[in-house]
Amino acid sequence: MSGKIADVELLADSRLIVWNPAEAQTLYSSRYYGKPLGVAKPKEGFDTPLVLDPIEGVYLLERGVIDVVQGEDAAKVTPERLKALARGILEGFDDHYTVYSSLRDKGFVVTPGIKYGCDFAVYEHGPGIDHAPYIVQVKGKGDGLSATEIVKAGRLATTVRKTFMIALVDGEEISFLSFKWWRP
């Protein structure tokens, strides 16, 4: 993606909104960024604003795809300022952002994984085109991982037919561990 696609407003509650429906549609269609407001599973075009996750917002702002403004004077928000806000509302933001940006840069479509009880759902092509083959849980360098967490994650991944992956972050370096059930 090159060039600015959309203007985004940062609301007082830290939500990022693309108010212009045409810009919202273009941004969503480019690689499935954001969620159309009030549209559960958009198949075709939509005519609503788009809500961006803070991680998506930082990623797109750093790449010059969006401009973010805030307040009545529409003051531009810098990537550093948006990252600082995101750190205040998302625990482990830096590790999550490292994984998100790495996967996006490799061409994957990355969406929040809350419905799977993990950090990210990762698609090869995008929601509505294919099913997410991977679900990812982010762990920082000092985070522990219990046997119970592994079993729980493996059972969930098997139930929804996905490969469960743990992204271990150490600075800018990421190691991925994948888990699959094996039946002899």
Q: Whole-structure pTM over 0.85, yes or no? A: yes
At 3 the pLDDT is 78
pLDDT tier at 183, thresholds 50, 70, 90: low
Domain 6-89 carries which CATH code?
A: 3.40.1170.20
Which residues in 16-38 are b (16+ Cβ under 10 Å) and which e?
bbbeebebbbebbeebbbbbbee
Written as six digits, the tokens of 109 are 């479509």
Judge residue 122's burial from the number of C-beta atoms within 10 Å of its C-beta, 0-12 exposed, 13-18 middle, 19 or more buried. Answer: buried
Bigger pLDDT: 60 or 45?
A: 60
Report the distance separating Cα 109 and Cα 128, nearest Å. Answer: 12
Can 41 be counted among the known catalytic residues? no
At 148 the pLDDT is 83
- Has residue 1 got a pLDDT over 60? no
Q: Model confidence over 79-101: pLDDT tens digits? A: 999 999 999 999 999 999 999 99
The answer to whether 49 touches 8, Cβ cutoff 8 Å, is: no
Bigger pLDDT: 43 or 130?
A: 130
Q: Please determine whether the domains at 6-89 and 93-179 fall in the same fold group of CATH.
A: no
Mean pLDDT of the chain: 89
At 163 the pLDDT is 86
* Domain spans in the chain, listed from the N-terminal domain onward: 6-89, 93-179
% of the chain with per-residue pLDDT over 70: 96
pLDDT tier at 151, thresholds 50, 70, 90: confident
Q: Model confidence over 2-57: pLDDT tens digits? A: 678 888 999 888 889 999 999 999 999 988 999 999 888 787 788 999 999 999 99
- Has residue 109 got a pLDDT over 70? yes
Can 162 be counted among the known catalytic residues? yes
| Fold exhibited by the domain 93-179 | Trna Endonuclease; Chain: A, domain 1 (3.40.1350)
> Exactly one of 115, 131, 152, 180 is catalytic; which is it?
131
Task: Find the distance separating the first CA and the last CA of the chain, reported in whole Å.
Answer: 45
At 22 the pLDDT is 93
Bigger pLDDT: 123 or 128?
A: 123
> Exactly one of 59, 123, 134, 139 is catalytic; which is it?
123
